[in-house]
Structure 1
Amino acid sequence: MPLFNKKDTEPDHMPPPGLPLLALELRAPWEFGAVLPAWPVLQRAPLGDGHAVIVFPGLTAGDATTVPLRRYLESRNYETLGWGQGLNLGPREGVLDNAKRQLQAAYDASGGKVSLVGWSLGGIYARELAKEMPELVRCVMTLGTPFAGPHTSTNAWRIYQFASGRSVEREAESYNLPEAPPVPTSSIYSRSDGVVAWRGSIQAPARHNPHTENIEVVASHFGIGLNPSAWWAVADRLSQPQGPGVVWQPFQRPQLPGMHLIFPDPHR
């Protein structure tokens, strides 16, 4: 059964999450609190090869919010970087150009392709950078990023317009947001997201890039970047080897007890 059909993506059929889900966003601190008891399991995620990873924060957030995720990835043998542009207030003048320069600098310094991880709005940057500079990007991962639905499918679009001073509808018209980058791309999402309609984070099958996937976790929007299950998924995706003859593999639940509850079947 498909995750959605064309009718689901029309504005009238993709409303933002309702008040019950929005109220559940208060669980975000408990998601981060789960990191400590989950740490022994998180350390069983595959080790990386040391390549560079840039992590982009969500709307009105800064690099401080991605420190926990970046420290975890460093423990799995990655060189991590924040985006280094203060609070994310939207793609104002110079923001995307600075992001391109950072990506080029990270590629030059590391001597290899760079992975991009983006939380919410930060995932839009990651995807668009990978479209413009695919030769520098190894893979893209987004966390609760609304790229597949209308702007009214989120509870944050008014905040975006206030923070950026731009029309979100006009901004979206400048990009083909649903189109996946031409590199391996994973969308990590939650059906209990209280800010973004979960269908707005679903990648349709990509004809020109079969290396796209959707990974469901149980998380809030404000907590997905601090959620142990999302961390595991990010570490797993980053660890995939690259090179001649290497075949990309989609995400598989870890073979540990209870994983069907932590990583639900997205096709259910």
Structure 2
Amino acid sequence: MALTLAEGRGILELAATYATRTILRHAPRGDDHCVLVLPGFLAGDRSTRPIRQFLCELGYDTHGWGKGRNLGEFYKMRDVLEGLVEEFYTRSDQKVSIVGWSLGGVFARYLSLVMPEKVRSVITLGSPFAADIQATSARKLYDLVSKEGPVRPGDLEKIAGDLPVSNTSIYSKLDGIVNWKTCIAKAAENAESIEIRLASHVGIGVNPAAFWATADRLAQPEGVFKPFARNGPFSLAFG
């Protein structure tokens, strides 16, 4: 409960990002490929504008999802999101990286499973995809809004398991909405989990250390995966 009440510190994380803009301009740069950013539950493209602007400044062809608020509806949205990835893949003639905040990260992992030939990498921010994904204080609200009913057998296990593309989970042990243990990626040669100390759930998507880690992971050449090096200007923020 205390962590949930402390989620208001997210505004301080956003302020810290603006305060460190000069430093963030020196974040690792990649090959300017297409990046799709998916918002969290009940959020829309407005919430992901700061990270999209940051990635645009680094040269990436960055896009929001353009679907209004994320109301959950996983089974309804699957075809819609597959069409979105197909659109950006065809337009850019290259694989698309997907950055997903919270529930958006669950969607991102699903897309990599069904479209590995069109998805380059997946980065999740505070996303509850592993272990008991019901260990979140927003679960009852999700059920009320999405009206989806029970998850189909096997779906959770697939999303929590190995992915065919490089994948990074960025999380915080002080997340006041999601149990951080549900954000830990299964050990694999192409997977890793990066802790951001002191980050909140509503702030991890606007956190400067999370921005730096996201840029570093996107800068990896296609088909290459090396574990994240916890150094640089935000080294103290990485667990």
TM-score, scaled to structure 1: 0.84
- 1:115–1:238 contact (8 Å) kept in structure 2: yes
Q: Give the aligned partner of residue 222 of structure 1.
A: 202
Residue 211 of structure 1, aligned match among 190, 205, 213: 190
CA distance in 2 between counterparts of 1:194 and 1:32 reads 17
Residue 182 of structure 1 deviates from its aligned partner by 0.6
1:166 aligns with 2:148: yes
Residue aligned with 1:152, SS: coil
Residue 94 of structure 2, aligned match among 104, 108, 112: 112
CA distance in 2 between counterparts of 1:229 and 1:172 reads 36
1:139 aligns with 2:121: yes
Return the letter of the residue paired with 1:252.
A
CA distance in 2 between counterparts of 1:222 and 1:172 reads 30
Residue 97 of structure 1 deviates from its aligned partner by 0.7
| Residues 155-202 of structure 1, C-alpha deviations (whole Å, 9 max, x = no match) | 1101110110123x4357534231132100000000000011111100
Residue 260 of structure 1 deviates from its aligned partner by 4.0
Looking at CA atoms only, which structure, 1 or 2, has the larger radius of gyration? 1
Q: How many residues align?
A: 237
Residue 78 of structure 1 deviates from its aligned partner by 0.2
Q: How does 1:15-164 map to 2 (within 5 A)?
A: 19-91=1-73, 94-164=76-146
Please tell me the root mean square deviation across aligned C-alpha atoms, in Å: 1.5
Q: Give the aligned partner of residue 10 of structure 1.
A: none
Return the letter of the residue paired with 1:223.
G
- 2:88–2:96 contact (8 Å) kept in structure 1: yes
Residue aligned with 1:170, SS: coil
1:239 aligns with 2:219: yes
CA distance in 1 between counterparts of 2:10 and 2:232 reads 26
Unaligned residue ranges in structure 2 (runs of 5+): none
- 1:116–1:126 contact (8 Å) kept in structure 2: yes
TM-score, scaled to structure 2: 0.94
CA distance in 2 between counterparts of 1:190 and 1:147 reads 14
4+ runs deviating over 2 angstroms: 91-94, 169-177
Structure 1 stretch 190-199 or stretch 33-42: which is displaced more?
Answer: 33-42
CA distance in 2 between counterparts of 1:96 and 1:136 reads 15
CA distance in 1 between counterparts of 2:87 and 2:221 reads 22
Identity of aligned residues (%): 43
Residue aligned with 1:163, SS: helix
| Residues 131-155 of structure 1, C-alpha deviations (whole Å, 9 max, x = no match) | 0000001100000000112233111
Distance change in 2, residues 1:182/1:92 (3 Å):
closer
Unaligned residue ranges in structure 1 (runs of 5+): 1-18
- 1:60–1:163 contact (8 Å) kept in structure 2: no
CA distance in 2 between counterparts of 1:162 and 1:173 reads 23
Distance change in 2, residues 1:249/1:174 (3 Å):
closer
Return the letter of the residue paired with 1:137.
V
CA distance in 2 between counterparts of 1:252 and 1:239 reads 13
